[in-house]
Amino acid sequence: MKAGTFKEALANRVNWALLGGGPALSAFACWLVWILWQGGWPQDTAAQRIHILGTALFGIIGILGVVIALIGLAGPLRALKAGVGPASVQIDGDEA
């Protein structure tokens, strides 16, 4: 493990969470839409299932909004670096 401050380690974990959270939540939202699209459940419980899955989908969309807002509140990205073991991501931006 590289030597660094607790603040750097926390920032590294937050960067990975933001980079991974959006795609993971998007995939989960697509999966819920697929479940709604395929159907295949009895007519007796269809309305209840659609309500539950629709509520979950709106919740996921809300959480995605929070992730997007957190990325936006971080300001314009000039440099972002995150790494775990041999895997790392580095984004260098130009000042506009």
DSSP states of 28-52: HHHHHHHHHHH--S-GGGHHHHHHH
Is residue 1 in a domain? no
Is 83 domain-assigned? yes
Asked if residue 70 is part of any domain, the answer here is yes
Tell me the pLDDT of the chain averaged across its residues: 78
**Do the domain assignments include residue 85?**
yes
pLDDT at residue 93, as a whole number? 58
Domain count within the chain: 1
Tens digit of each residue's pLDDT (9 = 90 or more) over 61-86: 898 888 777 766 665 555 667 787 78
- The secondary structure element, H or E, covering residue 10 is helix 6-38
- Residue 96's pLDDT band (boundaries 50, 70, 90)? very low
Tokens (6 digits) for 93: 């931006």
Across the range 10-29, mean pLDDT stands at 80
Is residue 77 a part of any domain in this protein?
A: yes
d(CA 59, CA 88): 30
Among candidate residues 24, 16, 27, the one with its CA nearest the CA of residue 71? 16
Q: Is residue 65 part of a domain?
A: yes
Using CB atoms within 10 A of its CB, is residue 28 exposed (0-12), middle (13-18) or buried (19+)? middle
In a domain, 29, yes or no: yes
Domain that includes residue 19, residue range: 6-92
